[in-house]
Amino acid sequence: MGAISLRKVEKTYGHGPKGVKVIHGVDVEIADGEFIVIVGPSGCGKSTLLRMVAGLEEITGGEIDIGGRVVNRLEPAERDIAMVFQNYALYPHMTVYDNMAYGLKIAKVPKAEIDVRVNKAAKILELTALLDRKPRQLSGGQRQRVAMGRAIVRQPAVFLFDEPLSNLDAKLRAQTRLEIQKLHAELGVTSLFVTHDQVEAMTLAQRMIVMNAGRIEQIGTPEQVYLKPATTFVASFIGSPPMNLLPGRADGSRFTVGDQVLALPAAAPRAGDLLLGLRPEHVDFGGSNGGGWPLKVEVLEMLGAERLLHGRLGDAAFTMRIDGTLTPPHAGETVYLHVQPAQLHWFDAASGQRVA
């Protein structure tokens, strides 16, 4: 069983007044067989958290439970985990077969069993024809599949992935994401996958853990995190382009941004200073006012199937996404935006927490 429990997990580097806390009491329950993606910007603590689960970093406080065992004091080899690193970490003098088999040989697994496991993993990852090659004869994507194969043959309770796709080009990243999805569907092993790439997080995760400065901002399915972000950090980090966040003052069905008063399709949840969030794709525009919000277009970006319009709404920057087949406005032109009540997101101006 590969269920994982993190209970008030903390990490501090250094001691006393000079100590720096980088993980602040993380609590999360991961079900057996679940695929969890930990996502966040560089330096948020996501890789540190993964390395603590792996046993490569000591924890300062709390408990880590894997499969019903508290593993705080267990060595990595005793935790029934297998890790896939960013830099492949293959032995250059060994063949693909030997790289995948090496850990099993060290564990004194019988040769016949090693052969069965390696060939099964090679078939899953389409590496059968490459088993006699050395790493220098492989592409980046093939090397990463070998690294995954080395993890698979261990038959662990938990897979840990530390930004395994960041060294691949865009096309290979997309292909390898599909391979990882197929792999999880076939093996059903509990997986923790760390990335700073929100596209990887959205496409791979059954649930996402969004981290910021050593704390969990939100846990949920990709749909929950995208459609109902818990904080302004999540709203601005998940989504490309990110959610528009307009600072202003609410008064019933009026919202003032700078010197521009916007008529709301429904009353704000409360009066006072708020941040109004709106996804770029959740906006319609027309040429005449009709009660719409005036957006002065500054820059247009053509992205093939869609266009991005960047402009200003009051004194705030605003981006909207439109179908690439529509006739776009010109830079300098004013268009009038129309929104639906269900597409509005409200956040507290001071804390950044979701209000409605």
pLDDT band of residue 30 (cuts 50, 70, 90) is very high
Question: Residue range 214-228: average pLDDT?
Answer: 97
Question: Residue range 50-58: average pLDDT?
Answer: 96
Is the pLDDT at 168 greater than 90? The verdict is no
Average pLDDT, the chain: 93
Least confident of 25-29, 51-55, 179-183: 179-183
Is the pLDDT at 172 greater than 90? The verdict is no
Question: Residue range 148-153: average pLDDT?
Answer: 92
The answer regarding whether domain 4-232 maps to CATH 3.40.50.2300 reads: no
Report if pTM > 0.85.
yes
Q: What are the pLDDT digits (tens) for 291-335?
A: 689 999 999 999 989 999 999 998 999 999 999 888 889 999 999
pLDDT band of residue 289 (cuts 50, 70, 90) is low
The pLDDT value given to residue 287: 61
Judging by DSSP bridges, how do beta strands 254-257 and 81-84 pair with one another?
Answer: unpaired
Boundaries of CATH 2.40.50.140 in the chain?
241-348
Give the CATH H-level superfamily of domain 241-348: Nucleic acid-binding proteins (2.40.50.140)
What is the spatial distance between Cα 170 and Cα 198, in angstroms, rounded to a whole number? 14
Boundaries of CATH 3.40.50.300 in the chain?
4-232
- DSSP-H helix ranges across the chain: 46-54, 96-106, 111-124, 140-152, 170-187, 198-204, 222-227, 232-237
Query: In Å, what is the CA distance from 349 to each residue of 19, 232, 274, 276?
Result: 31, 9, 5, 9
The pLDDT value given to residue 89: 86
Q: What is the torsional sign of CA 147, 165, 57, 155? A: negative
